């Protein structure tokens, strides 16, 4: 006997907001709140992963049912859990779980769990947006601007520091917003005059430029490298990966709904050039980086440039590659973040001079920083190698020159990490640096084990990527 059928999305919203509220109220015990939040986010993510869309009802005791695919409509905008947005929701929750787990090791930032829950709530509901009074993708840049403003609170973390990095994060979505608004008007005109190719060309150009701005390639990239010097590693991990996942999902939606964006414009050419410039700049800037956080961000930038280049030829094959690169990016960045977080907490700064010899006191965390960073560069025997190698082969099949440029840029980032390794495993000047705690070493060891496992057997990820392709392919 069915007494009540409850829609899933309002329940999800209440759970997420309750978690944020509870995390804020219990912030005095921030370590335990972060660990509990990580477990909750992981459980929620894995629970949604198990949803079978052929049986979209969870039957609860006492005749209660939860309708998993029920739509939630407010002010003309409809949110719904579907096959093509579920992987994004799950990945967002898993990234949040990862960041919360890392935050358990940074005691100076007690409001992070609450802010992380609020941020992921926003990103999840952006992913769940399925229709609106106009084409729903128009609202996404504005939503991303709001979430970027939320990211400022996460990044700054109540620390009196330079505001340049967080401020620059606002620029890409705000640049994209008017382009999307204008493109939406042209898209509305297409059914009225389907023969007019100028309409599709203008709409495609505007939307393509908006997507480019949202991807924050060179020269719009500078927010994270600047912020990475002072912000905590979990904050950087959370803010950057959630935003990039949302942008990739938006690109997939736009290219599926409006194929003229890449068919009738020079979008692929712009992507190729900007992607190459981004990866080159990431490599060059890594060589001169004087801060481990900045080096990490530049290596991640170089990797992001490669993802942009691969996106230049949209199709099933390239989306598989993009997801492969992105999944390994998450693993590499998380591994690096484990080490950077521990170094930042113990040493108090990520300046290379102050990290001199730290490897002798904190070997496992130093190894995590290096192996995670080398994974972002695609160094052999690191997590990112398989994806980078596949991407380079794909590029080289079309034209060997971009592949060579990516390889040279990766070499630049590698040089940066060699400098870091020499510094960390050099002579220990600051003898007051304590030895790493057992728990911290255990977390670093776990991260290293995951990275090495994925590096040795990347096929472990093939099922996950095939499943995630439903949202992008």
Partner 1 sequence: MIEAIFTAFGGLFASGLGVLLLAAIAGAIFILWDWRIALAGAFLLHLGSSSVLVAIHHVPGLLAAGQMMAITLSLAILAVSGILQSSSLTTRQAANWPLRLMALLFITGAWWFLDTGYALPLFSKMETDLLVWTALCGLALWSFSSSPLMAGVAVLIWSTPLYALASVLLPGSGLTAMIGIADLILALACGYLILLEPAARATIARRPALQWMVQAAEYVRRQLRQVAATEQTDPSSRGGNVATDPLREKAV
| Interface residues toward partner 1, by CB under 8 A | 75-77, 132-134, 138-139, 142-143, 145-146, 149-150, 152-153, 156, 158-164, 166-167, 170-171, 174, 177-178, 181-182, 184-186, 188
Q: Which of 6, 181 has the CB closer to partner 1?
A: 181
Residue with tokens 């004087």: 290
Nearest distance from residue 201's CB to partner 1, in Å? Answer: 14
Angle at 410 between CA 456 and CA 92, to 5 degrees: 60
Nearest distance from residue 116's CB to partner 1, in Å? Answer: 16
Specify whether the CB–CB gap between 190 and 264 falls below 8 A.
no
Nearest distance from residue 230's CB to partner 1, in Å? Answer: 11
Spell out the residues 6+ positions from residue 308 whose beta carbon is closer than 8 angstroms to its own: 215, 217, 271, 274, 275, 278
Nearest distance from residue 375's CB to partner 1, in Å? Answer: 32
The token pair at 471 is 């949202």
Q: Which of 161, 396 has the CB closer to partner 1?
A: 161
Nearest distance from residue 182's CB to partner 1, in Å? Answer: 6
Nearest distance from residue 111's CB to partner 1, in Å? Answer: 12
Spatial separation of the C-alpha atoms in residues 119 and 242, rounded to whole Å: 9
Q: Which of 168, 388 has the CB closer to partner 1?
A: 168
Specify whether the CB–CB gap between 164 and 226 falls below 8 A.
yes
Spatial separation of the C-alpha atoms in residues 70 and 97, rounded to whole Å: 26
Q: Which of 12, 184 has the CB closer to partner 1?
A: 184
Q: Which of 139, 465 has the CB closer to partner 1?
A: 139
Q: Which of 132, 426 has the CB closer to partner 1?
A: 132
In order, the DSSP letters of 101-145 are HHHTT-TT-TTHHHHHHHHHHHHHHHHHEEE-SS-GGGHHHHHHH
Closest by alpha carbon to 294, among 234, 356, 222, 240?
222
Nearest distance from residue 463's CB to partner 1, in Å? Answer: 38
Q: Which of 135, 286 has the CB closer to partner 1?
A: 135
Long-range contacts of range 458-464, CB-CB < 8 Å, 24 or more positions apart? 458/324, 458/328, 458/386, 458/387, 461/324, 461/327, 461/328, 464/327
Specify whether the CB–CB gap between 91 and 121 falls below 8 A.
no
Spatial separation of the C-alpha atoms in residues 324 and 6, rounded to whole Å: 36
């Amino acid at each position: 006997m069915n007494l009540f059928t409850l829609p899933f999305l309002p329940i999800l919203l209440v759970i997420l907001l309750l978690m944020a509220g509870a995390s804020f109220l219990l912030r005095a015990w921030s370590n335990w709140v972060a660990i509990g939040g990580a477990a909750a986010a992981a459980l929620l993510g894995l629970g949604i992963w198990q949803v079978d869309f052929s049986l979209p009802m969870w039957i609860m005791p006492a005749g209660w049912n939860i309708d998993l695919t029920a739509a939630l409509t407010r002010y003309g905008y409809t949110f719904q859990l579907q096959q093509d947005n579920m992987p994004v929701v799950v990945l967002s929750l898993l990234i949040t779980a990862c960041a919360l787990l890392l935050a358990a090791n940074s005691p100076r930032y007690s409001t992070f769990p609450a802010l992380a829950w609020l941020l992921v709530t926003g990103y999840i509901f952006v992913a769940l947006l399925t229709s609106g009074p106009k084409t729903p993708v128009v609202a996404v840049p504005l939503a991303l601007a709001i979430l970027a403003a939320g990211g400022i609170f996460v990044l700054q973390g109540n620390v009196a520091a330079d505001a340049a990095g967080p401020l620059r994060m606002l620029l890409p979505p705000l640049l994209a917003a008017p382009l999307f608004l204008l493109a939406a008007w042209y898209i509305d005109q297409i059914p009225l005059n389907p023969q007019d190719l100028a309409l599709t060309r203008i709409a495609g150009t505007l939307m393509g430029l908006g997507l480019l701005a949202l991807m924050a390639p060179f020269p719009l990239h500078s927010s994270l490298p600047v912020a990475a010097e002072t912000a905590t590693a979990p904050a950087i991990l959370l803010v950057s990966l959630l935003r990039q996942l949302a942008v990739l999902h938006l690109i997939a939606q736009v290219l599926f709904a409006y194929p003229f964006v890449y068919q009738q414009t020079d979008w692929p050419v712009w992507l190729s050039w900007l992607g190459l410039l981004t990866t080159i700049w990431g490599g060059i800037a890594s060589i001169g980086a004087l801060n481990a956080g900045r080096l990490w961000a530049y290596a991640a930038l170089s990797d992001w440039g490669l993802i942009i280049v691969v996106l230049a030829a949209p199709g099933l094959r390239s989306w598989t590659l993009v997801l492969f690169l992105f999944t390994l990016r998450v693993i590499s960045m998380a591994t690096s973040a484990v080490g950077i977080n521990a170094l930042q907490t113990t040493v108090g700064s990520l300046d290379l001079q102050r990290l001199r010899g730290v490897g002798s006191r904190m070997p496992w965390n130093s190894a995590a920083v290096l192996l995670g960073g080398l994974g972002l560069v695609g160094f052999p025997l690191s997590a990112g190698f398989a994806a980078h190698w596949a991407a380079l082969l794909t590029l080289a099949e079309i034209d060997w020159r971009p592949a060579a440029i990516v390889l040279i840029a990766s070499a630049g980032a590698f040089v940066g990490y060699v400098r870091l390794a020499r510094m960390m495993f050099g002579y220990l000047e600051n003898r007051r640096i304590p030895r790493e705690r057992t728990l911290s070493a255990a977390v670093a060891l776990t991260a290293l084990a995951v990275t090495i496992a994925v590096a040795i057997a990347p096929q472990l990820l093939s099922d996950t990527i095939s499943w995630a392709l439903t949202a992008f392919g």
